[in-house]
Structure 1
Amino acid sequence: MDASDETMSFTDPPAWPHAEADLLHEEPDWQAVACLDFPRDRWLGYLRGYAKAAEIIVDEVMSTGRGQDTLIYPFAMCWRHYVELHLKTLIELASVYLDEPHELVRSHSIEVLWRRARPLLERSFPGDDQAELDNTERVLFQLHGMDPSSEGFRYPVRNSGDATLDGVTRIHIRHFHNVMVGIAGVLDAADTGIREMTDRKHEMAGYNLYGG
């Protein structure tokens, strides 16, 4: 670990909290204002945010050659959480499209979520080549094996006291990122496809409803 990674740095000297400190205080530089009222689907804001954060981290590591031993944790956590959120989103979208009863899957397990999502994807896109789903499944199960409970990249120990990330000692950040970008491509394509098919389905239902 590089010595410079052991301390935090700031552009300006940090001010200690004072009596008027307020996390929601407004400032005039509008470029720094984050809008949480995402226009169509708040899930998209979360998905894109975690994926973008992972991209920023890998760019930082590759451009400086430093920080990899500490940034690996938020980097991998961002990708893992992105996958968890996107699988939950796809379960919701596909269930609506297929007119199947559903509720939010309350699990952090990528394996549990994928086993629920994959059959829905197969029914949403019948006839598609299964090779992409097979490869996606293999990588997702590998990620699940590293961090089955969503604790591994957030904490050094589990609630049980056992060490997390047991047996994982080296991760090549750029290669990990490139593989996960491929996974994101599959999930994004499914997401976009289902949204478009659902929109067309609703349009046709309205068309038929009014005598088309």
Structure 2
Amino acid sequence: MGKLFKEAKDWENESFIRKNDNKWLYYSEGYKIAAELIEQELITKLESRDFLIYPLIYLHRHYLELKLKEIIVEGNCIIGAKDFLPKGGHNLINLWKESLEILHLVWGDDFKIPAVTIENKIKELHNADVKSDGFRYPIDKDGEENLKSVQKINYRNFRDEFLEIKYFIEGVTDGLYATKDFI
């Protein structure tokens, strides 16, 4: 019987599982790239849109969750709380608040949120999928229908609006790594 996870002679088909300092980056970038691939598929094949919307939104949501946790972990490393883990679970609002607290500890009054829209978009995504299972399963653990408040999603609009979050979050994490390197 074969194994799912093994090395083989065709090295060009292997991926390295990173164990270095930037492990958060590898995870989050993977979800971001997968979402971008789905976006391209949706643009070229409209017949897939009702199927691919679920993994598309989930991948974006999970990317955001990972980036917020990365901010918390790396920010805590900078301020000297080494083995700190994020407390927010899958709750994007809690992770956002925790991230902001850490960023203010790292950069003080120099840290400014560019616009309230970032927070509003994070809240909107959180409220649509509070437990991070709405875009993964049609029903929750109690058998209740997920995504009751969402009827239609324009994927191009979602992509365009999510870009503001993506650019902000990536700028923050890049800034944290630059601060870490400087220290």
Q: Trace 1:63-74 onto structure 2 (pairs within 5 A).
A: 63-74=44-55
- The number of aligned residues is 181
| Letter of the 2:110 counterpart | G
Q: Distance in 1 between matches of 2:90 and 2:145?
A: 18
Q: Are 1:183 and 2:165 an aligned pair?
A: yes
Query: Cα distance, 1:120 vs. partner?
Result: 1.9
Q: Cα deviation per residue 1:60-117 (whole Å; 9 max; x = unaligned)?
A: 0101222110111111110111111111110111122233574332511101111111
Query: Contact conserved, 2:134 with 2:140, CA < 8 A, in 1?
Result: yes
The answer to whether residue 125 in structure 2 is matched with residue 161 in structure 1 is no
2:16 equivalent in structure 1: 35
Give me the TM-score of the superposition, normalised by structure 2: 0.90
d(CA) in 2 for partners of 1:113 and 1:25? 35
Scaled by the length of structure 1, the TM-score of the pair is 0.78
Change (3 A) 1:23 1:119: same
Aligned-partner SS, 1:22 = coil
What's the C-alpha RMSD, in Å, of the aligned pairs?
1.9
SS in 1 for 2:141: coil
Which of the pair has more CA radius of gyration?
A: 1
Instruction: Give 2:69's aligned amino acid.
Output: K
Q: What are the ranges of 5 or more consecutive residues in structure 1 without an aligned counterpart? A: 1-19, 202-212
Report the structure, 1 or 2, having the larger helix content.
Answer: 2
Structure 2 unaligned residues grouped into runs of 5+: none
Secondary structure of the corresponding residue to residue 23 of structure 1: coil
Match of 1:5 in 2: none
Asked whether 1:116 is paired with 2:98, we answer yes
Say whether 1:47 aligns with 2:28: yes
